[in-house]
Amino acid sequence: MPVKDLALTSPDIADMERIEDRCAGQFGAEAPRMVVDGIPAQAVELALVCHDPDAPMAHGFTHWTLYGLAPLDGEIDIEAGRPGPNDDGGHGWVGPFPPYGHGDHRYYFWVYALSRPVEGEPTRDEFLHRYEDAIIEQARLVATYSR
């Protein structure tokens, strides 16, 4: 996996800390702000994905796919992106809503610097399969949530 200078942080989420309730499914599901730094010069687009591998489903649960993001350092303008499908049957951010008593779930926020633009609205799995060769660099931020 290509990892070098690209970094992903958030003013709303600290790495390996609990996601604030205001971002969770039962409390309004406000999309967390994301900040990217160290974007490679050859990047033509960024993609953002949030996935919960601890969800009690065969392939976890994808909370967010966002494509068409400008390759610019700083806070990601999520309103300018193209929301892709989540595993709740919709598009855009769907906040954490793990089963009660299921323990801490990990939420992996990934940013991908790409050498070519993403076409359409692929699912997370489709994106990773179709664009694996276009990933110049990637970075992640991991947070937790439980109910």
Any domain includes 122? yes
Please report, to the nearest 10 degrees, the dihedral formed by the alpha carbons of residues 32, 11, 123, 139 taken in order.
-170
Cβ contact 48:34 at 8 Å: yes
Average pLDDT over residues 105-124: 97
% the chain with pLDDT above 70: 98
Q: Judge whether 52 lies within some domain.
A: yes
Q: What is the pLDDT of residue 1?
A: 52
Q: Is residue 1 part of a domain?
A: no
Share of the chain above pLDDT 90, in %: 79
Which CATH number do you get for residue 76? Answer: 3.90.280.10
pTM: predicted TM-score of the whole model, two decimal places: 0.94
Q: How confident is the model at residue 21 (pLDDT cuts 50, 70, 90)?
A: confident
Q: Is 93 within 8 Å of 63 (Cβ atoms)?
A: yes
Contacts of 93 (CB under 8 A, 6+ apart): 29, 31, 50, 63, 64, 78, 83, 86
80 is in which domain, residue-wise? 7-145
Q: Which two tokens stand for residue 114?
A: 């790409």
Please tell me the total count of domains within the chain: 1
Per residue in 39-80, pLDDT tens? 999 999 999 999 999 888 889 999 999 999 999 999 999 999
